[in-house]
A and B are shown apart, each in its own frame.
Chain A
Amino acid sequence: MKELFVLAEHRQGELRDVTFEMLTKGVELSQKTNADLTAVLLGHNVEKFEKELAHHAKKVLIIDDARLENFNAEAYQRVLFHLISERKPSLTLIGHTAFGVDLAPSLAAELNLPLATDCIDLDFEGEKLVVIRQVYGGKVNVKASLRKSESYIVTLRPATFEAHEPKPRDGDIVKIASPLSEDITYKRFIEYFQPPAGEVDISTADIIIAIGRGIKDTENMPVVEKLAEALGGVLACSRPIVDKGWLPSDRQVGTSGKIVKPKLYIAIGISGQFQHISGMKNSDLIIAINKDSEAPIFRAADYGVVEDLFKVVPSLTDKILEEKH
């Protein structure tokens, strides 16, 4: 029976959300193509994940090795090269995450199997695997087909596919001996590092005021800081603000930052590239303020204001303070 692999992604003792998003899609695809859904778990002392993965997949393959304790693409690649060559799954799903981008392309090149990255949808049209990707910052979608192969590799965009509670099942847990024989010395994981940040965790905030390039200069921050204060919310941002060093990286909303689901998300001066939208689109109420009527953010928001933020925000702050007193 053909297998469909989903590579479980975990970090610092927790399975990451993208794993379940992939497993849910994996259930759908494995049913359609009559394949067994197999979760692949690599790590060290990761038994605690076994049961949970077994709820979703027909089989859970576990390879435990001290060398796999902290993610190292080289070690993962060696193991997966071995697994995929031996078991020839029809498809291997990996998250398009910091892990995935480090691992998938070189794995695919070593196996010489076709790879499509950062996909927002995929399907088998007969034997042919077809994917949907986004290009030009999310302004254009692409439907692409992969070169015919017995085995494909695809990385899926996180926070895009829904993760559902599976129909209860109890997959087989299969432990496989690690094929790793030596330490990998030419690429070593040293340690995790949390850059100095504030006391604020935006992922737990109820009200988020997010700023983007439209703020133009760090000197203009007080304009939005006052609004955040008036609403009792926290300040977050899109990537360019972090790149410029105006806010610490733990304030970044997006696929490479944090995924947030607050009660209120006000996007100010943010154009709305997909990397950002993916990070906030499930917020309860989204209000976007941007001078550009064509900004993609308006396709993710509930309410839009096409106006100069430097005019609207101060007025809004004043009215909120009035309302509160």
Chain B
Amino acid sequence: MNVIVCVKHVPETAEAEIAIHESGKRIKTENLVFDINEWDDYAVEEAVLLKEKLGGSVTAVTVGPEDADGTLRKCLARGADRAVRLTDKAFEGSDSYAIAKILYKAIKNLPFDLILTGAQAGDDGCAQVGVVLAELLGIPHVTMVKKVESIEGLVKVERELEGGLEEIMELKLPALLAVQTGINEPRYISIMGIRKAMKKEIKVLSLKDVGLTEEEVGESGSWITVEKMFIPPVEKEAEILTGGVDEIATKIVETLRAKGLI
């Protein structure tokens, strides 16, 4: 089974302090650590698991700057056979729609049975690229995938709905699956593994290589334009309980008693 995985190189922001850039349209990234988007990490692992079970190849594709090579190397170290990076100044400012167009051009002439993407990206959380890409390629898609099973020419998936409920869908290949976190346990990638992956080639393609015009990508090719980014106003601020551990515990118990909860 030939699988293509679309991945994104994103900053880790969960534990970091975020500051807005002077332009007011993005955040400052100098002190942030970048890594593969968490959802895409699961997608890569799933692709490699499928390859290990069914044979075939895995190709990792990303739209990003040269630094995105770090993410592609991780994919190669995990077990991807090939990596493609789409880089061009014209791509800057692209939203999900424009990114999907770029990926579409790069992928449409490649042989594949399945495309995997993460259900969303940890930075913008739009959850659009995979599905738009599927539409452009004319293949069926399913999002929020928790489990994949391949049967002859078909793929059966468990899809996550809300509240713990799931549904089972069946698609004919070729298809695109946007995977949800928790679908597998991504294995650790060692530094030596990444070093070995340095030997594999990363193909780099530009705007011209994929046959797009400047108007079709970047801000002009997007559905959405960022007007400004800002730290959300503080609506509510918790009253921080102070004191030693026991003092705090006592204060909580008093509050609970007062509210009739104990």
Decide if A and B touch, CB cutoff 8 A: yes
* Chain A residues engaging chain B, CB cutoff 8 angstroms: 11, 70, 73-74, 96-98, 101-102, 104-106, 108-110, 114-118, 130-131, 133-147, 185-195, 197, 203, 207, 231, 239-240, 242-245, 248-252, 255-258, 263-264, 271, 273, 285-288, 292-294, 298-307, 311-312, 315-316, 318-320, 323-324
Give, as a whole number of angstroms, the nearest-CB distance from A70 to chain B: 8
**How many residues from B make CB contacts under 8 Å with A?**
85
Q: Which residue of B lies closest to A273 (CB)?
A: B14
Q: Which residue of A lies closest to B253 (CB)?
A: A319
The answer to whether B237 and A298 have CB atoms under 8 Å apart is yes
The answer to whether B229 and A193 have CB atoms under 8 Å apart is no
Q: B18 at interface (Cβ–Cβ under 8 A)?
A: yes
Distance of A231 Cα from B261 Cα, bound (Å)? 8
Neighbouring B residues of A294 by C-beta, 8 Å: 17
Interface residues of B in 219-234 (CB under 8 A from A): 222-232, 234
Give, as a whole number of angstroms, the nearest-CB distance from B98 to chain A: 11
Q: B74 at interface (Cβ–Cβ under 8 A)?
A: no
Give, as a whole number of angstroms, the nearest-CB distance from A239 to chain B: 7
Q: Write the B140-179 contact mask toward A (1 if CB under 8 angstroms, else 0).
A: 1111100000000000101111111111111110010010
Interface residues of B in 157-215 (CB under 8 A from A): 158-172, 175, 178, 180-182
Neighbouring B residues of A257 by C-beta, 8 Å: 162-164
The answer to whether A249 and B159 have CB atoms under 8 Å apart is no
Given the interface pairs A130-B227, A143-B230, the reply to whether A185 lies near B172 with Cβ below 8 Å is: yes
Across chains A and B, the number of contacting residue pairs, with CB separation under 8 Å, is 271
Neighbouring B residues of A138 by C-beta, 8 Å: 232
The answer to whether B228 and A143 have CB atoms under 8 Å apart is yes
Give, as a whole number of angstroms, the nearest-CB distance from B18 to chain A: 5
Neighbouring B residues of A96 by C-beta, 8 Å: 127
The answer to whether B13 and A137 have CB atoms under 8 Å apart is yes
Given the interface pairs A134-B232, A146-B224, the reply to whether A302 lies near B165 with Cβ below 8 Å is: no
The answer to whether A193 and B225 have CB atoms under 8 Å apart is no
Distance of A297 Cα from B241 Cα, bound (Å)? 15
Q: Write the B243-254 contact mask toward A (1 if CB under 8 angstroms, else 0).
A: 001101110110
Give, as a whole number of angstroms, the nearest-CB distance from A279 to chain B: 10
User: Knowing that A131-B224, A323-B262 are A-B contacts, what are 15 other residue pairs whose CB atoms are under 8 Å apart, sorted by A's residue number?
Assistant: A101-B127, A109-B131, A109-B136, A143-B226, A146-B224, A147-B225, A187-B175, A194-B164, A194-B165, A239-B182, A257-B164, A258-B164, A264-B256, A304-B241, A319-B250
